[in-house]
Structure 1
Amino acid sequence: MELKINSKNEIEALAEIGGFDDAVEFTGSVPDGFEANFKPSYYLLQDNEIVVNQDYKEPIITDPRPSEAQQQLAQVTYQQMMTTQDITTLQTQNAQMAYQLMMQGGKA
């Protein structure tokens, strides 16, 4: 098993298959429920043993909804995308009409 360890010896990630850059190969025994209870920084690697981090604090989860500024930016971006699409459609129509006029002019 490979463990990704931060500067505080907290285990940030683990890999049974594959690995990480700068990972530590761990072949020792793991505590009961290690994989089921795993959360980044919940466990430490100390003296080649995996132990529970006594200083672990659950991360504070902020409101996942976008802020008003993010909503406004998304709306402006959407409007810009729609405007670009409209411009492309009009340019295509203009090119088609110009082609038709050119073809009609050649027949006369």
Structure 2
Amino acid sequence: MSGGNGNGVVWAIPQDRELPPPAESIVLKDRFLSPPKPLFALDDFMKEIDGDHMPMSYLQAAIAFHELHEFGAVWHGVSWGRDTVLPAEGGEETTFPAGEWAMIEEEPEILEPHFFYIQ
């Protein structure tokens, strides 16, 4: 944390290694709030995410990507956490009642996430 700003950081490290203290890590000056990074950590934790190639696993990986990048976020570190999934017409209410928002384009036939396999 720095003042009212804050962010956590998630690293993928080998299962047989312990997370070292921050003093034994390199400091990433080019990243927000200069987080420590263990020397043996992967630059991208998503390289260790492995799904079953079904559409739901792609959606779960996408949500994990955004949630883990925002781990511990406060103020300027927050971006994904400000988003709200709005309900479809007549759908279950979330933050905003369905009557308080309108589609700016024609409502698509399919609102659920969908995927296409390209070979």
Same structural fold, with TM-score higher than 0.5 when normalized by the shorter chain: no
TM-score range, shorter chain: under 0.3
Normalised to the residue count of structure 1, the TM-score between the two structures is 0.19
Identify the structure with the greater strand proportion: 1
Q: Could you say which structure has the larger radius of gyration?
A: 1
Which of the pair is proportionally richer in helix?
A: 1
